[in-house]
Amino acid sequence: MIVTGLVPLIIVLIPLLTVLSRNLREIEEEKVSDLSRQLSRHVAEVMDRSARDLESLVTNPFLSDHQGKIEDKLSEMNRLVSVYEAYSDLSLYDKNGYLIESTTEDYPSHRDYTSWFKDALEGKTTISQPQRKIGSEGLFLTVYLPVKSKEGSIEQVIKARLSFDRVMSLLRGVHVGENGKILLLDSLGNVICDNDLERLKEKFDPEKSPSDWLLNPVGTYSDPKGNEYLYSAEVLPKALTHVDSHWVVLAMKPMTEVMAVTRQAQATLAAATVGMIAVAMVLGWFLSLKISLPLERIGHVARLVAGGDLGVRATGGGAEEIDQLATSFNQMVSELSQHRSGLESLVLSRTESLRRSQSDLERTSARLQAAFDSTNNGFLVEDSGGDVAVVNDLFLALTGASREELAGDSERSVLSVFTGDWEIPEGGLESWESKVGADEVIDAEVTHFGEDEKILHVFSSSIQDHRGKKVGRVWTVQDLSEQRRLEASLRQSQKMEAVGQLAGGVAHDFNNLLTGILGNLALVELDLEKEGGEENQEHLRCAIRAGERAAELVKQLLGFSRRSRMDLKVCDPSAVLTEVRDILTATIDPR
């Protein structure tokens, strides 16, 4: 466990060393850059001070008086050279470039044709690049100063040589580490300040372009010998050098010294880390005895409890807090055991209650399903979204619809069932659509014309919850076809009953009339027998038989109208036909 705790420290240490190395490198770069900036500022101050000292020569009354004596001017120039250390020598030229007088006898030129001299004749103060003087060490700056007359015309030019030692001594007094270098380069890459005087006015590195120092002011440089340096190049513009080009102050520190600082910091950090690891191991060992081991024992007991064993108990040991933790843990396990027993009893009770409720629900559902399927009405329920929630087979059979047709997501899916051969009264399907949209009741009879004509009673109303919110719509259909046929038969029976009653009344009246007719015919027959009229007797007998037959028919009508029992008996068809023939012969016109 102690080793595991050290892993994060090691993981953090590795990137920390990398970041430390990078930061130390940046610090060293900043130091070198700051040094080059400070030196460039000092060089600029030296050059600026030298330029101001030169301005005093122009205003010197002895030198500016071109009509003055040469001896006086030479005496003044010697005085100035002795007073100002910066002046190596002074020379006075006329405007044609001829030497008038000089403080040195070994001056190489008695006439000056340089461009700097020509610029001085135009009123400009010019300073040349650092130059070597043959036979002497170090470098010099040559300055050309125009001397104006009182009228403002340039009559003479002072040529002063300034020693470059002031700048060189400034740079030589600065050290970059133990073996670092401070160099001053001109715009061509020539060395104009170095501890090695033999390198003055030589290329610092012939293979390196002078512009590289401007493009990469900070970086690493390897000399021809393979030595690597951390450098910082600070550019002095010509406005600060007072010459025609810029200079570059180059501060260089060996990378071995830079890396030595980094390695020392890394070693210090590593030593501190080792010390921390040692302290951490000691503390970890101590804490493991006091905290970790007791906690592991409690953790083992906790895993047993999590596995369902509530009979185990934790033991203390170690710190006082561990004992309190073990006591609290054991108390919690005891309470869990009690709660577990109570929960098991409660679960058993709830399970039995749920089982009974489930059984009751299944029975209720079965009864509802049986009632739903066995009802004489077609039944359909839509939910609040217009989808069909419940539909029985009788609804599909009566309407001729299929479950696929009713699978739509709008109420039109139900109304579309009654299109086609269905006759809808009172406005048709459009009125139903408006009632459905307004949550109104639909109560109507529709007729289907086709091979099997049927009449259905359709009822539909919205379903609302206890808050009055619409939650669906119910549709019921009832087949009235057989009922309407029975009603038609009933009406026909009622008509026949009325006809029977009417026939009974008529038959009763006819029976009374026939009684009188037959009685009188019987009397006439008796009289004819007495008188002996044979021909008339035959006609009379036909009339009597017709009356008797009419009386028999009236008797049958009375029996039908009164729903009395008919007296059925066997008869002779030949006699019945003969009787009917005789009646027809007597009653039908021969024509």
* Residue 350 domain flag: no
User: Please, are residues 93 and 122 in contact by the beta-carbon 8 Å criterion?
Assistant: no
Q: Specify the long-range contacts of residues 144-150, CB closer than 8 Å, at least 24 apart.
A: 144/114, 144/116, 144/117, 144/119, 144/120, 145/54, 145/57, 145/58, 145/120, 146/58, 146/120, 146/121, 146/122, 147/58, 147/63, 147/64, 147/66, 147/92, 148/58, 148/64, 148/123, 149/64, 149/66
| Domain final residue pick, 436, 460, 479 | 479
* Distance between CA atoms of residues 344 and 265, nearest Å: 67
Find all residues with CB under 8 Å of 218, minimum gap 6, and list them: 29, 32, 33, 231, 232, 233
CB 77 within 8 A of CB 159: no
Would you say residue 462 lies in a domain?
Answer: yes
- Pair 60, 132 in one domain: yes
Residue 453 sits in the same domain as residue 508: no
Q: What is the DSSP letter of 438?
A: T
Please state the length of the chain: 591
In the chain, the amino acid numbered 366 is A
Identify the pLDDT of residue 532.
61
CA distances from 527 to 239, 513, 514, 533 (A): 184, 21, 20, 9
Q: How far apart are CA 410 and CA 436, in angstroms?
A: 11
- Domain identity same for 442 and 503: no
501 and 561 in a single domain? The answer is yes
Structural domain contains residue 429 = yes
Residue 4: per-residue pLDDT: 56
Q: Is residue 138 part of a domain?
A: yes
Max Cα-Cα span within the chain? 225
| CA gap 103, 550 in Å, rounded | 191
CA 576 from centre of chain: 107
SS3 of 118-154:
HHHHCCCCEECCCEECCCCCCEEEEEEEEEECCCCCE
Q: How far is CA 57 from CA 146, 498, 538, in A?
A: 10, 162, 197
> Rounded to whole angstroms, how far apart are CA atoms 384 and 100?
121
At which residue do the structure tokens 């006699």 appear? 575
Rounded distance, CA 426 to CA 422, Å? 13
Last residue of a domain, one of 457, 479, 501: 479
Q: What pLDDT is recorded for position 588?
A: 63
The answer to whether 310 and 333 are in contact (CB under 8 A) is yes
Classify 385 as helix, strand or coil: coil
93: its two tokens: 């030229």
Q: What domain range includes position 390?
A: 375-479
Closest C-alpha among 192, 194, 222 to residue 207 = 222
Q: Among residues 479, 514, 531, which one ends one of the domains?
A: 479
Q: Does 300 fall in a domain?
A: no
Q: Do 453 and 548 fall within a single domain? A: no
User: Rounded to whole angstroms, how far apart are CA atoms 170 and 185?
Assistant: 15
Structural domain count, the chain: 3
Show pLDDT as tens, one digit a residue, over the chain (591 residues).
455 555 665 666 667 667 767 777 788 888 888 888 888 888 888 888 877 777 777 777 777 776 778 888 888 888 888 877 777 888 888 888 888 888 887 655 788 888 888 888 888 888 888 887 666 667 888 888 888 777 778 888 888 887 777 777 777 778 787 888 888 888 888 888 887 777 888 888 888 888 888 888 888 888 888 888 888 888 888 888 878 788 888 888 888 888 877 777 777 777 877 787 777 777 777 666 666 677 777 777 778 777 777 777 777 666 666 777 777 777 787 877 788 788 888 888 888 888 898 888 888 878 877 777 777 788 888 887 778 888 888 888 788 788 777 775 544 568 778 777 778 887 777 888 888 888 888 888 888 887 777 888 888 888 888 888 888 888 888 888 778 788 878 887 777 777 667 766 776 677 677 777 777 777 777 777 766 656 666 767 777 777 777 777 777 666 656 655 556 677 778 877 776 676 566 556 665
**pLDDT reported for residue 134:** 64
Interatomic CA distance for residues 423 and 413, integer angstroms:
18
Q: How many CB atoms lie within 10 A of CB 127?
A: 22
**Residue 296 forms part of a structural domain:** no
**What SS3 class is residue 442?**
strand
Q: How far apart are CA 112 and CA 108, in angstroms?
A: 10
| Single pTM value for the model | 0.44
Any idea what the CATH number is for the domain that residue 394 is in? Answer: 3.30.450.20
The pLDDT, as a whole number, for residue 66 is 67
Residues 395 and 460 in one domain: yes
> Per residue in 272-328, pLDDT tens?
777 877 777 777 776 666 666 777 777 777 787 777 777 777 776 666 667 777 777
Are 104 and 147 found together in one domain?
A: yes
- pLDDT 10s digits, 544-580: 777 777 777 777 666 656 655 556 677 778 877 776 6
498 class by beta-carbon count within 10 Å (0-12 exposed, 13-18 middle, 19+ buried): exposed
Same domain, 386 and 456: yes
By C-alpha distance, which of 159, 193, 170 is closest to 54? 159
Neighbouring residues of 340: CB distance < 8 A, sequence distance ≥ 6: 310
CA pair distance 388, 395, nearest whole angstrom: 12
CA distance 292 to 209: 67
Write down the pLDDT at residue 408: 59
Q: Is residue 362 part of a domain?
A: no
Q: Based on the domain organization, do 66 and 126 belong to the same domain? A: yes
Q: Name the 3-class secondary structure at 229.
A: strand
Q: How far is CA 419 from CA 68, 164, 455, 459, in A?
A: 135, 116, 15, 16
* pLDDT confidence of residue 7: 62
- Name residues whose C-beta falls within 8 Å of residue 13's C-beta, 6 or more positions apart in sequence: 269, 273
The answer to whether 196 and 184 are in contact (CB under 8 A) is no
* Beta strands at 191-193 and 126-127: parallel, antiparallel or unpaired: unpaired
The answer to whether residues 312 and 301 touch, using CB atoms and an 8 Å cutoff, is yes
Is residue 156 within 8 Å of residue 66, measured between CB atoms?
A: yes
Residue 237 lies in a domain: no
Same domain? 409 vs 513: no
Distances (CA, A) of 234 to 32, 35, 247: 10, 9, 9
What per-residue confidence (pLDDT) applies to 314? 73
How far is CA 104 from each of CA 28, 48, 101, 140, rounded to the nearest angstrom? 48, 26, 9, 15
Residue for token pair 């920390």: 16
Are residues 474 and 387 part of one domain?
yes
- Do residue 470 and residue 529 come from a single domain? no
